[in-house]
Amino acid sequence: MKVVHIETLIEKGLFASSKEWESLKQGIIEEIQEVDWPPGSGKFTIYPESGKRRGEGNGVKPIKDTFVKRLIVKGWEAEKPLDIASRKKPGNLDLVLDYKDKKIVIEWETGNISSSHRAINKIALGLIKGIVSAGILVIPSRNLYKYLTDRIGNFDEIEPYTDLWKALNLDSGILMIIVIEHDAESKDVPRIPKGTDGRALN
The angle subtended at Cα 61 by Cα 57 and Cα 64, nearest 5°, is 120
Which residues 6+ apart lie within 8 Å of 19 measured at CB?
none
Rounded Cα–Cα distance for residues 98 and 132 (Å): 10
For residue 32, how many other CB atoms are within 10 A of its CB? 22
Q: Which residues are catalytically annotated?
A: 109
Cβ within 8 Å of residue 20, ≥6 positions away: 99
Q: Considering only CA atoms, which of 128, 145, 124, 144 is closest in space to residue 136?
A: 124
Longest dimension (CA), the chain: 50
